[in-house]
Amino acid sequence: MSAPDYSVIIPAYNEEQFIAATLESVNEAMEAVPLLLGELIVTDNNSSDRTAEVAREHGAKVVFEEMQQIARSRNAGAAKAEGRYLIFVDADTLITASLLKTTLDTLETGDYCGGGTLASFDRDCGWLVGRLLELWTFLSKTFKWAAGSYVFCRKEGFVDIGGFNEEFYASEELHLSIALKRWGKKRKLKMKILDEPVVTSARKSDWYSTGRLVGQFLIFFVMPWRLKSREGCRLWYDRPEEELMKKQ
């Protein structure tokens, strides 16, 4: 069997509720783009639910990573990837065939080292969250920062820069974007943010108040070193008590 041209990597911790829909969207997209061969990898980040089983049921190669850290989980999946292109998708995010094709066409031009796409929520989250999303969209397109929900790159660039920086418990996609831009600049390659948004879950708006969501991001502007501690990034690692009960 031929080696895959690209690898779709999905980090997942206790994602039984969402990952099936994500995997179905990825499989449908891959089937609709037949000219390049892809593989699907899920990193089980020490889940206590059926995340790994659901991944296998949908044809994914499952990689296990014991330490619960997003950067480490992404890197563990990438370490097993055989494709020359890497595409990272969050476990609560839906993609389309059009987005996958545009991503691969972009990389195949030979002009780009990586990039991402715009993000949208699966439902309205209120005025303030909507404005924050608009701000992120502006920053992403201006500085060519990829959102963690969808990141793509050349594998050679990913390896050369050391992958996602495991010093950080959040914002690892921003540090990857900055490092890839530097790597690409030396090789006359660019980063690109596509205009075809993925749809990602707004579940954090259900779990936490708007005040807490906004406050968490403001803290990072004042105390960016907190991104290097799990305690400082609890929003990404904690689950509400009712969610944890469902997993037990």
pLDDT digits (tens, 9 = 90+) for 44-63: 999 999 999 999 999 999 99
For the cut 50, the answer to whether the pLDDT of residue 6 exceeds it is yes
Q: Does the pLDDT of residue 209 top 60, yes or no?
A: yes
Q: Average pLDDT of 76-91? A: 98
Segment 31-37 mean pLDDT: 96
d(CA 2, CA 53): 26
Whether the Cβ atoms of residue 22 and residue 93 lie closer than 8 Å to each other = yes
Span 91-105, mean pLDDT? 98
Give dist(CA 109, CA 140) in Å, integer: 22
Chain mean pLDDT for the chain: 93
> What SS3 class is residue 171?
coil
Q: Residue 123's closest CA among 196, 214, 207, 202?
A: 202
Considering the chain, what percentage of its residues have pLDDT values greater than 90?
Answer: 78
Whole-model pTM: value is: 0.94
Is residue 242 predicted with pLDDT exceeding 80? no
Comparing C-alpha atoms, which of 154, 163, 161 is closest to residue 190?
A: 154
Pick the most confident of 106-115, 122-131, 200-209.
Answer: 106-115
Residues 6+ apart with CB under 8 A from 122: 199, 200, 201, 202
Interval 13-36 mean pLDDT: 96
List the domain boundaries for the chain: 6-200
pLDDT band at 221 (very low <50, low <70, confident <90, very high): confident
Output the pLDDT for position 245.
44
In three state form, how does the secondary structure of 85-103 look?
A: EEEEECCCEECCHHHHHHH
Q: What is the pLDDT of residue 103?
A: 98
List of E strands, the chain: 6-12, 38-44, 61-64, 85-89, 93-94, 112-121, 150-154, 190-200
Of residues 91 and 208, more confidently modeled? 91
From the list 119, 135, 139, the residue with the least C-alpha distance to 204 is 119
What local confidence, expressed as pLDDT, does residue 248 receive? Answer: 44
- Asked if the model's pLDDT at residue 75 lies above 80, the reply is yes
Say if residue 244's pLDDT is above 80. Answer: no
Give 231's pLDDT tier (boundaries 50, 70, 90): confident
Helices marked H in 15-123: 16-32, 51-57, 70-79, 97-108
Has residue 247 got a pLDDT over 50? no
**6-200, superfamily in CATH?**
Spore Coat Polysaccharide Biosynthesis Protein SpsA; Chain A (3.90.550.10)
Give me the amino acid identity at 199.
Answer: V
